[in-house]
């Protein structure tokens, strides 16, 4: 029996890990999943786990008000050590680029436990964009023993850094698996305040590198777009971080900008499906939306997901007000340009990444 510890700190990690955990049920005689919720983002994580009926075996409860990167790292290392000692897993599986991912990989390394990295090999090649995620991911790859790269580009990045190609598996991204699972579920629309007859623009922002002036520029762009285009409805689920939530004050008086608390994942997927386009700094949305044929404008200066840019379904526009407005209105008013983005092929997988990941683990550790 392969004891595999899944460590999950944030909602995106839960969404991407859930299909892999569910896949373990098919091999219950061969692989034993142990779920550790780090709770770097407590409420949002619990919300996502509940949707997939996943109950953690352990919870580190590290989240606190005004938490810093220093405090998160310290608490994770201190609180996960006794759990690693008690369980002695064969493999610790981490996903992505959060502080949870790096800290848990480092803890497993200290205990000489193998590390598997889901979504390995993504690179922006700018250590401060995204911050601190770019370095978290690079360091986690350096620590890991088995790498699950979503694309050929990610595999090439790993090999350039000296990772043995025999330890790299191209799997696609399990967020597509999660997306397909959610699309099969019935959704009850309780959002009566949304005018679905208008063209919907979905907005999400939360990146540290945009805190301050970047978010102000984005807020000004949303104001301009709403005022210039009466036929659109901007839906903005506002991240609870106080450094993001201040945007509510900037935008709450505008009739066709609707502000919400963060949506649960089922609601979010169904809103994505009904959107005309998406403005986001999220990595996951850059992977999900192309599967739905929805153009994405990335509110960041760089992206570690260049495959979608090359495919034509994603465009990086930065955080300057004028550029955001120009690129958004180009999509709103130029049908040929819009259709070209909407009909591009998603490079991030076919919904079978979780199956490939589990089979790779079984081949390596049985």
Q: What are the helix (H) ranges across the chain?
A: 11-24, 42-51, 69-87, 99-110, 133-143, 152-160, 174-183, 213-228, 242-245, 247-251, 265-274, 283-288, 306-311, 321-333, 335-342, 353-365
Please state, in angstroms and rounded to a whole number, the distance separating the CA atoms of residues 70 and 113. Answer: 24
Given the residues 13, 97, 134, 209, the one annotated as active site = 97
H helix or E strand, kind and range, residue 69: helix 69-87
Please give the radius of gyration of the chain, using alpha carbons only, rounded to the nearest integer: 20
The yes-or-no answer on residue 315 being catalytic is: no
DSSP label at residue 263: P
Residue 205 near residue 299, CB atoms below 8 Å: yes
Please tell me which residue in 114, 119, 209, 307 is annotated as part of the active site.
119
Query: Which residue of the set 41, 206, 207, 300 is catalytic?
Result: 206
Collapsing DSSP to helix, strand or coil, 300 comes out as: coil
d(CA 317, CA 212): 18
Known catalytic membership, residue 117: no
Look up 217 and say whether it is catalytic. no
CA distances from 93 to 80, 357, 363 (A): 14, 11, 16
**Length of the chain as a residue count:** 366
- Which of 239, 300, 305, 356 is flagged as catalytic? 239
**Strand 58-59, strand 31-37: pairing:** parallel
| Active-site entry in 133, 209, 288, 301 | 133
The packing angle between helices 42-51 and 11-24, to 10°, is 30
Active site residue 274: no
Other Cβ atoms closer than 10 A to 108: 25
Residue 264, CB-side half-sphere exposure with 13 Å CA sphere: 15
Are the CB atoms for 204 and 282 separated by under 8 Å?
yes
- Is 209 among the catalytic positions? no
Q: Which tokens go with 217?
A: 């520029």
Active site residue 13: no
Q: Residue 3 in contact with residue 88, Cβ under 8 Å?
A: yes
Looking at the DSSP bridge assignments, the partners of residue 93 are 6, 116
Rounded CA separation 83/223 (Å): 48
Yes or no: say if 150 and 353 are a contact pair by the CB < 8 Å rule: yes
What distance in Å separates the CA atoms of residue 171 and residue 354, rounded to the nearest whole number? 8
**Which amino acids are annotated catalytic?**
97, 119, 133, 206, 208, 239
């Amino acid at each position: 029996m392969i004891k595999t510890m899944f460590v999950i700190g944030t909602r995106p990690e839960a969404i991407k890990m859930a299909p892999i955990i569910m896949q373990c049920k098919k091999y219950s005689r061969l692989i034993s999943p142990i779920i550790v919720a780090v709770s770097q983002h407590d409420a949002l994580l619990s919300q996502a786990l509940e949707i997939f009926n996943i109950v953690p075996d352990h919870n580190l409860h590290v989240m606190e008000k005004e938490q810093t990167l220093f405090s998160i790292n310290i608490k994770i290392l201190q609180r996960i050590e006794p759990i690693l000692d008690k369980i002695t897993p064969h493999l610790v599986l981490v996903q992505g680029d959060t502080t949870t991912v790096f800290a848990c990989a480092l803890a497993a390394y200290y205990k000489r436990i193998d590390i598997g990295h889901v979504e390995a090999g993504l690179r922006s090649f700018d250590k401060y964009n995204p911050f601190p995620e770019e370095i978290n991911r690079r360091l986690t790859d350096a620590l890991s023993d088995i790498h699950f790269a979503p694309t050929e580009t990610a595999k090439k990045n790993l090999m350039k850094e000296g990772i043995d190609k025999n330890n790299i598996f191209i799997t696609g991204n399990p967020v597509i698996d999660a997306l397909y699972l959610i699309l099969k579920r019935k959704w009850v629309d309780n959002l009566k305040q949304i005018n679905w007859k208008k063209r919907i623009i979905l907005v999400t922002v939360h990146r540290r590198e945009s805190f301050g002036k970047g978010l102000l520029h984005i807020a000004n762009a949303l104001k301009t777009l709403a005022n210039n285009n009466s036929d659109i409805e901007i839906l903005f689920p506002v991240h609870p971080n106080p450094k993001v939530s201040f945007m509510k004050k900037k935008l709450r008086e505008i009739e066709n900008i609707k502000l919400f608390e963060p949506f649960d994942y089922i609601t979010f997927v169904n809103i994505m499906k009904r959107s005309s386009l998406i403005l986001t700094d999220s990595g996951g949305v850059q992977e999900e939306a192309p599967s739905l044929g929805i153009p994405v404008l990335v509110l960041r200066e760089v992206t570690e997901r260049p495959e979608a840019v090359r495919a034509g379904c994603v465009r990086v526009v930065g955080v300057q007000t004028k550029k955001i407005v120009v690129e958004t209105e180009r999509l709103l008013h130029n049908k040929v340009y819009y259709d070209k983005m909407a009909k591009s092929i998603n490079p991030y997988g076919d919904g079978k990444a979780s199956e490939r990941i589990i089979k790779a683990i079984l081949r390596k550790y049985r």
